[in-house]
């Protein structure tokens, strides 16, 4: 029977992509293994097309059907439902893992960290379980401190002047903390507890990028004292290969006609959407900045055309300097284009890594999930971006955006940031060349089991 490793992705193409890359990495040096990637597939969404992934032939896919919870069956607000959906897939997961175990030697399961509730199944079946943390090491340090932050918050309410010292994380003021509901805090706390108790944590990062956080995690000083910390393996930067996607709107040929490093890309991940008012404000800010730009516009109302969404005459006035596309653009390829010199980003981890790998400095405008924490890391720790200041309701005014874009492209500070990220690009290339072996070996039963994921230098 073949040795098999199951990789259980979270919902969304980006998460499946990360698992495919991890699978490829494992198979490079364990060619006798087979890898099965489970893709959670809620009954109300389309199946992800797996034929477009570049995969080792020993990787197969399985769509794990999940009936999403009805609104009455969950206490979570809609944007956090994703954390609850996999719990509803646990019953199905149990069956699938059992049948894989019958047909092969199921050696280990690697869970996307968002599927933390799947340990209810892997614990029951006594299968060694690792996590793939698809954000950065710094935010993982932060997660491990969430319980303490929560306790202290109830003691001293809303004191904006308090600064927190968190092992492995830059000094952060309480004002910079994600001001979301207690739901997200509770989820962070659960993720931290589950990850502290697993057989290994794999992170998409590299030493030069997050040295302090990686050291903290490897030393285990951020984990509860009574536990042996799980081993930590950094395999990054794992990013999309530029050029893998179609350029339906002609962004790349437009960039060909622009001067070197002159264009600012504005792109906000797979979920970032703005109100009409916010889009108008961005447009005014871009015009004021007088910089060239390529803007991927996604609005809360899909039906509206760009003319309806943007200020009157904006597209005509800026046609020499700017390109605006709706919904989606091949971001990795755009960032790798020589004409791109800046990036206004929502601070999604993949977007940040792609910018680092291409040496493109950033303006940080976080929108959801752990992105506010990523902004703190980007600006204070990596020092490769400028922070935008939003109003309490998240609104960013035109002057704030325009001035930061100008500062990034056209100031001494912008120049320093650019130099720093170009150095980081070199370190990223070196890191990618380094992690070329990833060996997983299991010994004995789970109680004695340990994982050796060897990062060969």
Hey, which residues are catalytic here?
15, 112
* Residue 287 binds ligand UDP, judged by CB under 6 A: no
* Cβ–Cβ < 8 Å for 205, 236: yes
Q: Which stretch binds ligand UDP (CB under 6 A): 30-38, 67-75, 192-200, 327-335?
A: 327-335
Taking alpha carbons only, the member of 354, 441, 342, 350 closest to residue 401 is 342
Residue 384 sits in the site that holds ligand UDP (CB under 6 A): no
Q: Which of 296, 387, 440, 451 binds ligand UDP (CB under 6 A)?
A: 296
Give residues 354-383 in contact with ligand UDP (rule: CB under 6 A): 354
Size of the site for ligand UDP (CB under 6 A): 17
Of 141-149, 162-170, 248-256, 349-357, the window that binds ligand UDP (rule: CB under 6 A) is 349-357
Query: Which of 270, 278, 397, 427 is close enough to bind ligand UDP by CB under 6 A?
Result: 270
Residue 271 in the binding site for ligand UDP (CB under 6 A): yes
Binding ligand UDP by CB under 6 A: which of 240, 258, 291, 299?
240
- Residue 305's CB: how many other CB atoms inside 10 A? 9
16's enclosing H/E stretch is: helix 13-29
Is residue 89 part of the contact set for ligand UDP (CB under 6 A)? no
Q: Which stretch binds ligand UDP (CB under 6 A): 148-156, 182-190, 348-356, 396-404?
A: 348-356
In the complex, the smallest distance separating the C-beta of residue 140 from ligand UDP, rounded to whole angstroms, is 15
One residue of 37, 121, 332, 344 binding ligand UDP per CB under 6 A? 332
Report the candidate in 270, 273, 415, 423 with the shortest Cα–Cα distance to residue 357. 423
Q: Where does this chain touch ligand UDP (CB under 6 A) — which range of 66-74, 150-158, 204-212, 329-337? A: 329-337
Binding of ligand UDP by 9 (CB under 6 A): no
CB of 218 to ligand UDP, least distance (A): 24
End-to-end alpha carbon distance in the chain: 32
Nearest alpha-carbon partner for 149 in 117, 182, 116 = 182
Are 41 and 66 in contact by the 8 Å Cβ rule? The answer is: yes
* Two structure tokens written together for 164: 């927190």
The continuous run of DSSP H or E covering 295 comes out as strand 292-297
**Helix axes of 398-409 and 276-289: crossing angle, nearest 10 degrees:** 40
Does position 14 interact with ligand UDP (CB under 6 A)? The reply is: yes
Q: Where are the alpha helices (DSSP H) in 207-340?
A: 211-219, 251-256, 276-289, 306-309, 314-317, 331-335
Contact flag: residue 21 with ligand UDP (CB under 6 A): no
Interface mask toward ligand UDP for 194-233; x: CB under 6 A: ----------------------------------------
Q: Give the largest Cα separation in the chain, rounded.
A: 69
Residue 33 CB coordination number (10 Å): 21
Tokens of 5: 């490793």
Q: Verify binding: residue 429, ligand UDP, rule CB under 6 A.
A: no
Residues 6+ apart with CB under 8 A from 152: none
Q: How far is the CB of 145 from ligand UDP (least distance, A)?
A: 22
Of 34-42, 195-203, 315-323, 350-358, the segment contacting ligand UDP by CB under 6 A is: 350-358
Verify binding: residue 136, ligand UDP, rule CB under 6 A.
no
Among the listed residues 348, 355, 388, the one whose alpha carbon sits nearest the alpha carbon of residue 370:
348
Distance, CA of 261 to CA of 250 (rounded, Å):
18
* Region of 57-65, 101-109, 342-350, 404-412 interacting with ligand UDP (CB under 6 A): 342-350
DSSP state of 299: B
Contact predicate 189/150, CB 8 Å: yes
Residue of minimal Cβ distance to ligand UDP: 348
- Whole-angstrom Cα distance, residue 127 to residue 7? 13
Burial class of residue 91, CB neighbours in 10 A (0-12, 13-18, 19+): exposed
409 binds ligand UDP per the rule CB under 6 A: no
Q: According to the binding rule CB under 6 A, does residue 109 interact with ligand UDP? A: no
Nearer to ligand UDP, 14 or 220 (CB): 14
Contacts with ligand UDP by CB under 6 A lie at 14, 240, 267, 269-271, 296, 328-332, 348-351, 354
């Amino acid at each position: 029977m073949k040795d098999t490793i199951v990789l259980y992705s979270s919902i969304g193409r980006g998460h499946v992509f990360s698992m495919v890359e991890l699978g490829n990495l494992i198979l490079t040096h364990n060619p006798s293994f087979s890898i099965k990637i489970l893709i959670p597939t809620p009954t109300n969404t389309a199946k992800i097309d797996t034929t477009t992934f570049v995969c080792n032939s020993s990787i197969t896919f399985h769509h794990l059907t999940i009936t999403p919870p009805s609104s009455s069956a969950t206490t979570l607000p809609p944007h956090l439902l994703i954390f609850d959906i996999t719990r509803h897939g646990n019953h199905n997961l149990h069956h699938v893992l059992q049948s894989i175990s019958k047909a092969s030697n199921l050696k280990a399961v690697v869970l996307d960290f968002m599927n933390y509730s799947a340990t209810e199944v892997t614990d029951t079946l006594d299968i060694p379980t690792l996590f793939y943390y698809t954000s950065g090491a710094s935010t993982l340090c932060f997660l491990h401190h969430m319980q303490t932050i929560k306790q202290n918050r109830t003691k001293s309410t809303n004191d904006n002047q308090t600064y927190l010292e968190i092992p492995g994380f830059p000094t952060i003021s309480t004002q910079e903390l994600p001001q979301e509901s207690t739901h997200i805090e509770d989820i962070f706390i659960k993720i931290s507890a589950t990850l502290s108790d697993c057989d290994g944590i794999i992170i998409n990062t590299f030493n030069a990028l997050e040295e302090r956080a990686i050291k903290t995690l490897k030393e285990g000083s951020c984990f509860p004292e009574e536990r042996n910390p799980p081993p930590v393996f950094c395999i990054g930067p794992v990013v999309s290969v530029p050029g893998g996607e179609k350029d339906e709107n002609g962004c790349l040929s437009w960039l060909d006609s622009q001067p070197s490093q002159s264009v600012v890309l504005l792109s906000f991940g797979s979920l970032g959407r703005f109100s009409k008012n916010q889009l108008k404000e961005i447009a005014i800010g871009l015009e004021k900045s007088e910089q060239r730009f390529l803007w991927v516009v996604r609005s809360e109302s899909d039906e509206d055309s760009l003319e309806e969404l943007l200020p009157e005459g904006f597209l005509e006035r800026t046609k020499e300097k700017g390109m605006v596309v709706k919904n989606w653009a091949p971001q990795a390829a755009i960032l790798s284009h020589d004409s791109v010199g800046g990036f206004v980003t929502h601070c999604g981890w993949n977007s940040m890594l792609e910018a680092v790998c291409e040496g493109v400095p950033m303006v940080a405008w976080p929108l959801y999930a752990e992105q506010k924490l990523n902004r703190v890391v980007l600006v204070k720790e990596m020092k490769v971006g400028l922070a935008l200041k939003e109003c309490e309701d998240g609104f960013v005014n035109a002057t704030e955006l325009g001035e930061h874009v100008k500062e990034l492209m056209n100031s001494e500070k912008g120049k320093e940031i650019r130099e720093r990220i170009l150095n980081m690009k070199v370190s990223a290339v070196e890191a990618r060349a380094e992690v070329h072996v990833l060996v997983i070996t299991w010994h004995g039963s789970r109680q004695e089991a340990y994982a050796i994921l060897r990062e060969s230098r």
